Amino acid sequence: MRLDNGNVKHQHPCFSGEAHLNRGRIHLPVSPACNIQCRFCKRSITKTGPERYEQRPGFSGELLRPEEALDVVRRALDLCPEITVVGIAGPGDTLATYHALETFDRIHQAYPELIKCLSTNGLLLEPYVDDLFRVGVRTLTVTVNGVYPGILEQICSQVIFQGVRYKGREGAALLIEAQKRGIRKAAARGILVKINIVLIPGINRDHIAEIARTVKTLGAGIINIIPLIPQQEPAAFTVAPDCTELSDARETAERYLPVFRHCQHCRADAAGIPGQPDLSPLLYEYQAWEQTFSHG
């Protein structure tokens, strides 16, 4: 099957309202580290047994290794032949380490017909667009929670770029500009770009129109608004948006771009048709990630 844009959209459960009912995805949790710190992010890995490891930006731990991924995909396709998409969405940032690119390279050689889908915070997207295209990535998600540094600094506390730590507004500005360059280049390369926005009441609720307008000018094709999954702390992140806030945000974004409304807030190791029983317990030895935040 040749994967042109129309075909990709039609076959992808997260880019088409139709396909989400009958097409599946397998997430490969190969990306251990992150290069920014979102204030709401709490990644953790729990192996069976008493061990428990917290993950923070820059921390690297062993998850699924790129060389193990092909076997997981083979088994997933046996269990669920409706799978059309191989996604890498975490649990850290997918471009903070080389693991996602290496994994896609292996999968693309064995299964060129499967759609490769990457989700990233976008900090390192621009320099990797050509490499991503080469290893078969045709759909991409970038999480854009703010396009003004004064707003994004309330959500993202620091950015680590080329070995230097940037805090507060300086880091936020750097991330915004990197995301813009990356989205523009990816869209121009022919990759379908979805924008995820984590809706955080009190911080970016009134900023949705500006985000949507900005990403549309960069070439993004669809928006997915993800309600914040409330955390214990800090205080600004303890309250999830209610149904009205979510619905208003979607309507606002829809003035600029189509909005995907079937998101299942998948974990980094989700498998199967979204909304149907998750197959990951049959594929992975351990259940690795808490349902805290999805990069999908």
Residues 21-60 that bind ligand SF4 (CB under 6 A): 34, 36-38, 41, 43
Q: Which of 93, 126, 153, 278 binds ligand SF4 (CB under 6 A)?
A: 93
Residue 172 vs 198, nearer CB to ligand CLF = 198
Residue 50: count of CB within 10 angstroms of its CB: 6
Residue 84 vs 94, nearer CB to ligand SF4 = 94
Residue 27 vs 43, nearer CB to ligand CLF = 27
- Residue 295 beta carbon to ligand CLF: minimum distance, rounded to whole angstroms: 7
When CB distances are held under 5 to 8 angstroms depending on the partner's kind, the choice from ligand SF4, ligand CLF, none that residue 24 binds is: none
Q: Is residue 166 helix, strand or coil?
A: strand
Query: Distance between CA 216 and CA 184 in Å, rounded?
Result: 10
Residue 24 vs 92, nearer CB to ligand SF4 = 92
Q: Is residue 164 helix, strand or coil?
A: strand
Q: Tell me, what amino acid is at 166?
A: Y
Residue 82 vs 290, nearer CB to ligand SF4 = 290
Sign of CA dihedral 253, 142, 144, 238: positive
β 115-120/164-167 pair status: unpaired
- Residue 295 beta carbon to ligand SF4: minimum distance, rounded to whole angstroms: 5
When CB distances are held under 5 to 8 angstroms depending on the partner's kind, the choice from ligand SF4, ligand CLF, none that residue 27 binds is: ligand CLF
Q: What is the DSSP letter of 256?
A: T
Residues forming the site for ligand CLF (CB under 6 A):
14, 25, 27, 85, 87, 89, 117, 119, 141, 224, 263-266, 274, 294, 296
Beta strands in the chain (DSSP E): 24-27, 36-38, 43-46, 52-55, 83-88, 115-120, 137-143, 156-161, 164-167, 192-199, 222-227, 271-272
When CB distances are held under 5 to 8 angstroms depending on the partner's kind, the choice from ligand SF4, ligand CLF, none that residue 207 binds is: none
- Residue 265 beta carbon to ligand CLF: minimum distance, rounded to whole angstroms: 5
Query: Distance between CA 5 and CA 24 in Å, rounded?
Result: 18
Q: Which of 20, 218, 295, 296 binds ligand SF4 (CB under 6 A)?
A: 295
When CB distances are held under 5 to 8 angstroms depending on the partner's kind, the choice from ligand CLF, ligand SF4, none that residue 294 binds is: ligand CLF
Query: Distance between CA 59 and CA 296 in Å, rounded?
Result: 21
When CB distances are held under 5 to 8 angstroms depending on the partner's kind, the choice from ligand SF4, ligand CLF, none that residue 126 binds is: none
**Preceding omega of 29 cis (within 30 degrees of 0):** no
The CA angle 265-145-14, to the nearest 5 degrees, is: 35
Q: Which residues contact ligand SF4 (rule: CB under 6 A)? A: 34, 36-38, 41, 43, 92-93, 121, 293, 295
